[in-house]
Amino acid sequence: MAQKTIEVINLGAMADLDPDEQDAVAENAAALVGMTFGSAESPLYQQLDYLTLDDPSGDGAVSSNDYGWSPEDVIFDGIASGLDSVIDYQVDLVFNDGSTAAAEILLLQDMSGRTFLAPFLVGSAKNDVLNDGGIRSMTFTGIVNDAGTHAYVDREADAFVVCFLEGTRIRAAAGEVPVERLSVGDLVETLDHGFQPLIWLGQETVSAGRRTSPIRLREKALGAGFPERDLYLSPQHRVLFDSPIAGRMFGTDQVFVPATKMIDLPGVTQPVVQARHHYWHLMLKRHEILFAEGAPVESFLPGPIALAGLSPENRASLRKRLPFLMQGQPAPSAARPCISGAAAANLVRRHRRNKRPPLANPAAWEASSGMLWDRA
């Protein structure tokens, strides 16, 4: 069985765009032309999610249910549903900085109505504009092809970077150590298991852009006095939330949220301050909660998306040190539930609306003035 997980924009459930399965044409594709998705208040970049394309036949494509075929599945949030529609649209994009561009986008809809916007094949020039910046909104302007029958699996997975910006201080047995000065075998402090040795480090240098430039968490942005200094993380790096709001939503107070989903919170921004960024990955034998500038954040979790996003040099380094990870063996379990997509955006909105910081459980975190979270 061949599977590939890609980054998509999740549009949610929609009416069936292809109600007649006796041919390849999506009869209702034109219903979206003229419609706009996303806004300044609810930008599309906050609807990024992960979709797995399941190709059990191994022919490189996920088949739809056109012509009465038995469809193959797309998998989202652990739930599989047969592929129903594959439609290529012309769109006008508005980026977060107000700039605009014309583009093409591929729409995938499954048999339950879940609808996603996906990139094109690896190496396609059509993907370039999709990486130009955070997409605020998208207007469907025309149809390129409404008769797609398959979704090819070899799509751009995106360059996911989950790591610490160079200079970030990590709490270790030797004190607060800049991440670039750590080595394999060094002991770093974890929330759950005390001091644990690093088993792999990787380094990435990336060009600045919305998907790669660091998210800044200002001092005390998490509440409870954390971080102790401004903290810079790659956009997909997960930060620990510990709050009753999370408990009510997910059944546990402690969950991980990607830094990029936190931008609406006080003190969380994405300033582009230099042309290139130097990031570091820190991996332990388990997925752990580390302390970066005093704040609780995740270590590197070598799941399929994170591994696909590594540079060839880092993949080679990881293969040499930990070959089982590159041979299809399961990755370690996440230290806490990982919340993404609309669920993460909703969690952040509720914290902001209720003026509650991400670290809101006083029993777990020391009291502080929390200057960014003054409820008065």
Instruction: Identify the pLDDT of residue 376.
Output: 30
Model-level pTM? Answer: 0.59
**DSSP one-letter string for 223-244:** BTTBSSS-EEE-TT-EEEEE-H
Closest CA to 89 of 134, 148, 135: 148
pLDDT at 134 over 70: no
**In whole angstroms, how large is the CA radius of gyration of the chain?**
21
pLDDT one-digit tens code per residue, 170-181: 999 999 999 999
Instruction: Identify the pLDDT of residue 130.
Output: 73
What the block records as the tokens of 235 is 């956009």
pLDDT at 375 over 50: no
Instruction: Identify the pLDDT of residue 315.
Output: 75
pLDDT one-digit tens code per residue, 143-161: 999 998 899 888 765 533 4
Q: Where are the domains of the chain?
A: 2-152, 164-373
Q: In whole angstroms, what is the distance from residue 4 CA to residue 9 CA?
A: 16
Tell me the CATH number for domain 164-373: 2.170.16.10
